[in-house]
Chains A and B, each alone.
Chain A
Amino acid sequence: MKHTLAVLVENRSGVLSRVASLFSRRGYNIESLAVGVTEDPKTSRMTIVVDGDDHVLEQVTKQLNKLVDVIKVSDIGGDDSVERELALIKVSADVSARTEIIQIANIFRARIVDVAPKSITIEVTGDEAKIQAIEKLLRQFGIKEMVRTGKIALVRGPKKV
């Protein structure tokens, strides 16, 4: 079972490696990890997707909380939350395939961010399912390169984590 953790940490050098090494040392599997500074420049926010049962999740949460640089850990998987991931997908596209690729991009509300004689690069944001869906459709044209940010998430409404 996948869980989404929102982890507020001190914005200091070395914190990311501390968190990442905790996962590897204790044998927990990170599905994705996205990190960036928050509205408070002294704080960074990590969104970590981790795979495991309730026992694993409990241990991950407790072990993260033990790190001095970790300010707060919340499992926001169960909450109603806005979840997004950004992907850049460079697709093989000769002239004959271009129209169809652009149509697919439009349907997914993705943006064309680069066009070259033999490729198109598409920027798409959305939840994991959406990104998987567009990736699947574009695969028939040949994906040259792809990059994903990993999931970021915020709980809806006034609640803060």
Chain B
Amino acid sequence: MTTGSTEKVNGARALIKCLEEEGVDTIFGYPGGQIIPFYNEIYDSNLRHILVRHEQAAAHAADGYARATGKTGVCVSTSGPGATNLVTGIATAYMDSVPIVALTGQVPTFLIGNDAFQEADIKGITQPITKHNYLVQDANELPRIVKEAFHIASTGRPGPVLIDLPKDVQNAEIDFYYPDKVELRGYKPTYKGNTQQIKRAAEEIANSCMPIIYAGGGVISSNASAELVELAETINAPVTTTLLGIGAIPTEHPLHVGMLGMHGTKSANYAIQESDLIIAVGARFDDRVTGKLESFAPNARVIHIDVDPAEISKNVNVQIPIVGDAKQVLKSLNKYIKCCKSEAWLEKIKQWKKEYPLTYKQMSSDVIMPQFVIEQISEACKDAIIVTEVGQHQMWAAQFFKYKKPRTFITSGGLGTMGYGFPAAIGAKVGKPDKTVINIAGDGSFQMNSQELATVVQNDIPVVSVIINNGYLGMVRQWQELFYDKRYSQTFIKGSVDFVKLAEAYGALGLRAERPSEVRPAIEEAVNSGRPAVVEVIVECEANVYPMVPAGAAINEILDIEEHADTPCAMPNLRTAKTDRVLDLEEQ
């Protein structure tokens, strides 16, 4: 440890030492002209560097690493195009409150502002999508800035922080001293909830007959699952989770009613609508959750626990706001709570769960239903970390896998980033090497970062990608089917690539399943191979995600599979005239 003593080093070496002080052992990145001094120092360091094939993947990998481990993920790129390629990954982490630190090379300070080669104002560009960002203008400030960056990224409501590093700053010699403390006048997150408010919340709970707990990503990031389950069990309240809250309570826990919102379960959506008290924990009443705001939970009073005061009463009016860390607040709330009169309510919930289970229709015996694939993964890999891309497969993965623990479902919720899953799975596997990590992908999403097959092969990262191949950009196709009169404009992508050969071309294992009986063996073979693998599963191409609340509707106005069973969309082999034509052309 060098804390407390000084030593002469250049900026790049200082940065390495800062990372070591922060306990960083792995970084994801891609070198380039303006970050060479840092890479020159990496060469002699003990840091594990995972060389990706596109900087976007470095940011997503750092994000996946952070979500799987709870530590801060680190990615690095050069200036200009390297830095701008990180932007999608940074925005993804920002929307989902994931702690990452992004390090970018920058042209030397004397060239900044001159439109120099590979110059981009990355501090300006990332201002709206970072929790905070820095341009280091003096190498002597580097240790303080890195210390602050890691502190800001990982505390309060977590989020991405970017540090832009001009090349001359990396080369400048400084007296290295790593500060012990961070002093930021404008940044003092509140962790401990107000005791009066917590007591009021406990009273409110005791007076409620139909309470529901609505848990979001904040429960996962503050490691508050145990406290959440304790609360639910003590007050006998049903628990619904957001997409990012999945894993906060085991899927099969009797009080769990599933995800809520656009593709939530009927039981969860009915329960929230009829409840008289919502206990929101680490969730932000996103529009995908609330549906039409005016009709959201009309009879419910709201207790909102969140570390970010700006989330309270942003979308939904809150009667009892509690600003604080989910874990700490729940711990103290659990001391005061008593059970309420929720027996009749629980009975009703039980009925709903029985009446409206998540289900799907098997079209014919030889066609593979996408939901079946998820069920097979769930049975074959019970303790896996599931990562997803974005689209229909993501919703099926949310609905049909049985999660047992927090940090085992990793997905891009807020930004909905296609191409997220594969690199995030790389990060998760690097962070949790003993876990089976499965990226559930769509054929569309996988192609957004499929070049990372080179990364997993070169670095020997045995991630398994299961591609649910329906030949469409499925979620958009579903919307086109339901709301645009089946005009499948630019969503038919069948035949774009042979995924098995693609995997093999990169040196990974490639497998394909075309019949239901082939699905389980293919998944097991891929997982047991210990190699990076791709399993392409050819599924029913017009299967839809149900239940579904159309955008702008109230969340109890639900389209469900029964209502659509007799429409062409739920049947195999029925195509619109336009799609038929495309298929014919393809066959010629």
Contact = CB atoms under 8 A, between A and B. Distances in A.
Contacts of A65: 309-310
B186 A59 contact: no
A141 B406 CA distance: 72
B511 to A, nearest CB: 45
A29 interface: no
Contacts of A68: 131-132, 152, 184, 186-187
A71 interface: yes
Contacts, number: 37
Contact of A71 (B131, B185, B310): B185
Given A10-B186, A68-B132, A21 B309 contact: no
Contacts of B132: 67-68
Contacts of A70: 186
Interface stretch (B59-67, B122-130, B284-292, B471-479): B122-130
A148 interface: no
A55 B152 CA distance: 27
Given A17-B127, A21-B128, A67 B309 contact: no
A21 B127 CA distance: 8
Contacts of A9: 186
B127 A18 contact: yes
Contacts of A55: 313
Contact of A62 (B124, B135, B186, B309): B309
A25 interface: yes
A66 B135 CA distance: 20
Interface string A16-55: 0110011001000000000000000000000000000001
Contacts of B8: none
Interface string B310-338: 10011000000000000000000000000
Contacts of B184: 68
A63 interface: yes
B536 interface: no
A58 interface: yes
A37 to B, nearest CB: 16
B524 to A, nearest CB: 47
Contacts of A69: 186
A68 B134 CA distance: 11
A149 to B, nearest CB: 25
B94 to A, nearest CB: 12
A65 to B, nearest CB: 7
A78 interface: no
A117 interface: no
Contacts of A71: 185-186
Contacts of B124: 17
Residue with the highest number of chain B CB atoms closer than 10 Å, among A59, A65, A68, A72 = A68
A14 interface: yes
Contact of B308 (A10, A17, A66, A72): A66
A33 B551 CA distance: 38
Contacts of A14: 123, 127, 135
A128 B201 CA distance: 45
A66 B124 CA distance: 18
Nearest to B313: A58
Contacts of B310: 59, 62-63, 65-66
Nearest to B317: A55
Interface string B110-136: 000000000000011001100110010
Given A62-B309, A71-B186, 4 more contacts: A14-B135, A62-B310, A63-B310, A68-B152
13 contacts: A14-B123, A14-B127, A18-B127, A21-B127, A58-B313, A59-B310, A59-B314, A62-B309, A67-B132, A67-B186, A68-B131, A68-B187, A72-B186
Give the 6 A-B CB pairs with smallest separation, nearest first. Answer: A62-B310, A68-B132, A71-B186, A68-B187, A71-B185, A25-B128
